[in-house]
Structure 1
Amino acid sequence: MKTVQGVTLIELMVVVAIIGILSAIVYPSYQQYVQQGRRLDGQRVLLDQAVILERAYARSGRYPEAHAIPAHSFYQFSYVVANAGSGFTLTAQPKSPHSDSECGTLSINAQGVRGSAGGASCWREA
């Protein structure tokens, strides 16, 4: 007698269901991991730019009126000088398709005070 080899429809549906369940569990964790990586990259850029501004302050005794920040894929950065060159604020606003609903805008000022729309827990301590 000849045996038929192959996969039944029921077996195929069980495999598809298992893949669907695993995807539903894993995908949100993956998205959170990716967002955290983007946030850390934005924080790194803010800290790097703050160091550059502090060097300029050490040389001239004031922060520059204008400061160019390199373009970034996920954040729009801005620089505002305050108190006639004795302070500054750097901000990182998430770009629309990559918006960070948990933390939103990140910022740092001349005193090293870090802020975010989502609270202090959004800044990872080194």
Structure 2
Amino acid sequence: MSKPIWEHRLVTYGFNRRAGDYGKHQRGFTLIELLIAVVIIGIIASIAYPSYARYVERSVRSDGQTALLQAASEMERCYSRDYTYAECDLEMTLSPSGHYAISVASGSQSDGGYILTATTQRSDGCDEDLTLNAKGGRAPEACW
């Protein structure tokens, strides 16, 4: 006796696969997997970018602080030669990385004789220019 036709046909659907065969036929990513990856990357970026921006601001600000301290050292060397700050001219007018312009102004007796100012060329997170006087006074305090 012959078998009916329906017994000879074997139709395989996804649920008929054996346990070890599941990953062999699947290719690519599903839309849900891609959306989850995009959401995770977005969350990481939203946390990391503000932190990175603050880091860049601090590094720019440290360039200005370094420039002011180098200029103060130059002013003190000049004072040790001439015994006055009036004869001193700064050789450097830009910070080492070029983010700040450095200027010197005559200060009063309470300032010690000069006031150095670093004016930013780009955003450094401070609302005011960095200043340093001959007595070591620094302003604004939050930016030092």
Q: Settle same-fold status: TM greater than 0.5.
A: yes
The 1:48/1:65 distance shift into structure 2, 3 A limit, reads closer
Comparing 73-82 with 3-12, which one deviates more in the overlay? 73-82
Corresponding residue of 2:74? 52
Count of residues in Structure 1 that have an aligned counterpart in Structure 2: 117
State how far apart, in whole Å, the 2-side matches of 1:82 and 1:109 are: 8
Say yes or no: does 1:28 pair with 2:50: yes
Runs of 4+, deviation exceeding 6 Å:
none
Comparing 69-78 with 44-53, greater Cα deviation is found at 69-78
Q: For the Cα contact (< 8 Å) 2:92–2:102, is it kept in 1?
A: yes
Counterpart for residue 40 of structure 2: 18
2:90 to 67, 70, 78: 67
Structure 2 stretches lacking a partner, 5+ long: 1-11, 13-23
Match of residue 9 from structure 2: none
SS in 2 for 1:90: strand
Contact 1:65–1:81 (8 Å) recurs in 2 = no
TM-score by length of 1: 0.81
Give 1:79's match in structure 2, choosing from 101, 104, 108: 104
Share of identical aligned residues, percent?
Answer: 40
In our comparison, the structure showing a higher alpha carbon Rg is 2
Residues 93, 106 of structure 1: 8 Å contact kept: yes
Structure 1 residue 65, shift from structure 2 partner: 4.9
Given the two structures, how large is their TM-score scaled by the length of structure 2?
Answer: 0.72
Out of 96, 113, 120, the position equivalent to 1:94 is: 120
| SS of aligned partner of 2:102 | strand
Q: Report the Cα offset of residue 99 of structure 1.
A: 1.6
Deviations 1:38-94 (A, max 9, x none): 1112101101110110110011111135323243421121111345xx711110111
Residue ranges of structure 1 left out of the alignment (5+ in a row)? none
* RMSD of equivalent CA atoms: 2.2
Distance 2:76 2:30 in 1: 68
More strand by share: 1
On the 8 A contact 1:77/1:91 being kept in 2, the answer is: yes
Which range is displaced more, 72-81 or 15-24?
72-81
Task: Give the match's secondary structure for 1:77.
Answer: strand
> Which residue of structure 2 lines up, in the alignment, with residue 39 of structure 1?
61
- 1:52 partner SS: helix
